[in-house]
Amino acid sequence: MPKIWSFGSINADHAYRVPHIPAPGETIAAREYSLGLGGKGTNQSVAAAKAGATVAHIGLIGPEGLWAKQRLAALGVDTQHINQSETPTGHAIITVDETGENAITIFPGANRAFTDAQLEVLTSVTAPGDLLILQNETNLQAEAARIAVKQGLIVFYSAAPFSAEATRDVLPHISILLLNEIEAAQLKAAVGALPSGITVVVTKGSDGADWITPDQTLHCPAFPVKPVDTTGAGDTFAGYLAAAIAEGQAPEAAMRLASAAAALKVTLKGTADAIPSRAEVEAFLARV
C-alpha cells in the first residue's frame, strides 16, 4: 500500500471548557483544562495512522517539544523526520462551549520555521504513488507540493486555516483539495470558482460532504451524533479519507469511512489523542 507523508504542524493544545465562547472584552472562568497533542498536520497524521495507513510525519518542534514527538510515535506515526529547532513548538488556545463548538487561537512557532533542508526527504525516500498531505499551518507548502509532483506523489491538500495566497500557490500542484463550506466560499470569492480538473471534497458538518470531480458529484450524508467536542473533526475526516484513498477504496466507500470517523470523533473530548481507531470506526458503522 502507498505510504502517506504528512508535511504539517505539531502543536501543544491548551483546551478550556467554558459555558460559552467569550465575547470581545468578556472574561469568563473555564470549567476544565487539558494539555494535549494537536495541530492540523499532527491530527491528520494520527487519523491516517489510526485508519491503518503507514504514515511518516515531516515536522518541527521547539527545544521543549520532545514530548510531542514521543506522543506521535506512541500513536503509530513514523517520527524520524521530525526535527528540533530553536523556535518554540507551536501551540493552540482552544475554548470549547457546552454544545461542543470551539474557537481557536494558534501560535505557529516552529511550524513556520521550515527550511528547504527539511524537504529533502521528499526526494530521497518517497516512492511514486505515495500520498503527501498538506495543510496551511506551515511555511513551504507550495515548495513541498512542487517536489512531490516531480516525484510522482499524489498531493492531498487541506486549505485550512484558509489563506487565498497560500491556496493559489499550492493549487497547480495538487490532486485532491479538501475544504469546508466556509473555506469553499472563501476560495470562490478569491478566484471566482472552485478549481476544475482535480477532485474537490467539501465537508458540510451535519449536512454531510461532497466529492466533486469534472465527471460527477457524490454526496455522503453525515451520521447523526450528539457532539461533545468538534475540535479535530475535519482533520479526522481528512486523515481517514487519505488512508482510504491509499488503500484504493472507491470514493463512496472512502467518504463513508471518513464521515463515520469524524462523527465518532465529535463524541469525544480532545484532539489527536481522541481520534478513534479503525476498529472503533468499523464498530460504529456496524451499529448505524
CA nearest 175: which of 205, 202, 195? 195
Grid coordinates in use for 39? 495541530
Please state which CATH number belongs to domain 4-9+40-82+113-287: 3.40.1190.20
- List the chain domain ranges: 4-9+40-82+113-287
Residue 166: the pLDDT is 94
Cβ contact 106:161 at 8 Å: yes
Give the residue numbers marked as catalytic: 235
Evaluate whether 204 touches 236 at the Cβ level (below 8 Å): no
DSSP 192: S
Give Cα separations from 74 to 38, 67, 79 (angstroms). 14, 10, 10
Contact 151, 119 (CB under 8 A): no
Query: What is the pairing mode between strands 32-38 and 176-180?
Result: unpaired
User: At residue 28, what are phi and psi to the nearest 5 degrees?
Assistant: -130, 160
Q: How high is the pLDDT of residue 100?
A: 84
pLDDT in tens for each of the 288 residues of the chain? 899 999 999 999 999 999 999 999 999 999 999 999 999 999 999 999 999 999 999 999 999 999 999 999 999 999 999 999 999 999 999 999 988 888 989 899 999 999 999 999 999 999 999 999 999 999 999 999 999 999 999 999 999 999 999 999 999 999 999 999 999 999 999 989 999 999 999 999 889 999 999 999 999 999 999 998 888 999 999 999 999 999 999 999 999 999 999 999 999 988 899 999 999 999 999 998
